[in-house]
Amino acid sequence: MLILKPREEGSRLMLWLSPFFAVFVMWVFGGVMFWVLGLPVLEGLGVFFLDPLLSLRGWSELLLKAIPLALCGLGLSFGFRAGIWNIGAEGQLLMGALGGSVVALYFYEVEGFWVLVLVLLGGVLGGMLWGLIPALLKTWSGASEILTSLMLTYVAGLFLSAMVHGPLRDPDGYNFPESRLFSDSSLVPILWEGTRLHWGFVVMLVLAFLLWLVMSRHRLGYWMNVCGGSSRAALYAGVDPKKMVVISFLISGGFAGLAGAFEVSGSLGQLVPVVSPGYGFTGIIVAFLGGLHPLGVVVGSLVLSLTYIGGENAQIAMNMPSAVTGVFQGALLLFLLACRTLESYRLVWRR
């Protein structure tokens, strides 16, 4: 029979191969799911994973949806490597969208490129302030950051809905719960003409590179690795774990808030009750799929972006329910965690 035997040292090879194994097993799982539902397996997998890559629109939408996923994943990966579990990136994204929208509506009649800069900074500030709440609760009272950050997500959703139905609602919008359309000065310029892809994709790549420099070359990255290894060792090394909690939540909240600002000022062009289909929660999968490495997070965001577009195609072409996207994403996380076991254990055949 096959048994798991502990390795003397963690396998770096399996660290890099486990995401590929997880994606492959997810494909196999998807084929089995289509077969159980009585659908053609190859056609279903083709509609889900191949069709979005065969057109210009498919590629542009793939890169567009990768922007918020990558930004959330990048911010979360910093905290996760420090052993700080921020599960509320979705709420921080929503507050970032709200913060950016308030700035865009305040400067509605003002022209100038600096307006867009203020909109994005408003999104970053909104996400950081919302992420600061569980950080302070953690450092002051020892409350679990997992529970507080997660619960604040639902508070953020309700608060955004109240603002859209109330003070931020378009006075000329026939009582629909949405803000007025942003002015051109508050919109992110289009990167790829004829598509919806905007310059937020370039900003995301630049931020991924900068975060890699911080993680690998800056002393903040050293503090992060020490805290992730042991909080007691961090104290001996002169690193304050409470300080790292605050810094990690500010970074992850700022990245998620920027993702929300890009959504309202790029993809949507206004504030609506449903800004995100769950990008903040999916960002957790993106972070782990990328091995908590900025470059891997960018690649992982493309894989998870493909599940969103593939799910939409499957609904249209094969009349599948919208839940199929969540099924694939949940299965990917499950298989990824299972494959990561091979980093510390190896399979051995024993009679």
CA separation, residue 117 to residues 57, 111, 315 (Å): 28, 12, 37
% of the chain with per-residue pLDDT over 90? 54
Average per-residue pLDDT for the chain: 90
pLDDT of residue 156: 96
Token pair, residue 311, equals 């799910």
Helix (H) and strand (E) counts in the chain: 13, 2
Condensed to tens digits (0 to 9), the pLDDT of residues 61-119 reads 999 999 999 999 999 999 999 889 999 999 999 999 999 999 999 998 888 889 999 99
pLDDT of residue 19: 86
**Mean pLDDT computed over 209-218:** 92
Q: Name the more confident of 212 and 267.
A: 212
23: nearest Cα among 331, 322, 310: 331
Would you place residue 265 in the very low, low, confident or very high pLDDT band (cuts 50, 70, 90)?
very high
pLDDT of residue 303: 93
Task: Count Cα atoms within 13 angstroms, Cβ side, for 154.
Answer: 4
How far apart CA 252 and CA 284 sit, in angstroms, is: 11
For residue 1, pLDDT over 80 is answered with no
Domain 40-210+242-319 part of CATH 1.10.3470: yes
Whether the Cβ atoms of residue 59 and residue 239 lie closer than 8 Å to each other? no
Radius of gyration in angstroms for the set of CA atoms belonging to the chain, rounded to a whole number: 21
For residue 286, pLDDT over 90 is answered with yes
Condensed to tens digits (0 to 9), the pLDDT of residues 19-39 reads 888 889 999 998 998 898 888
pLDDT of residue 17: 83
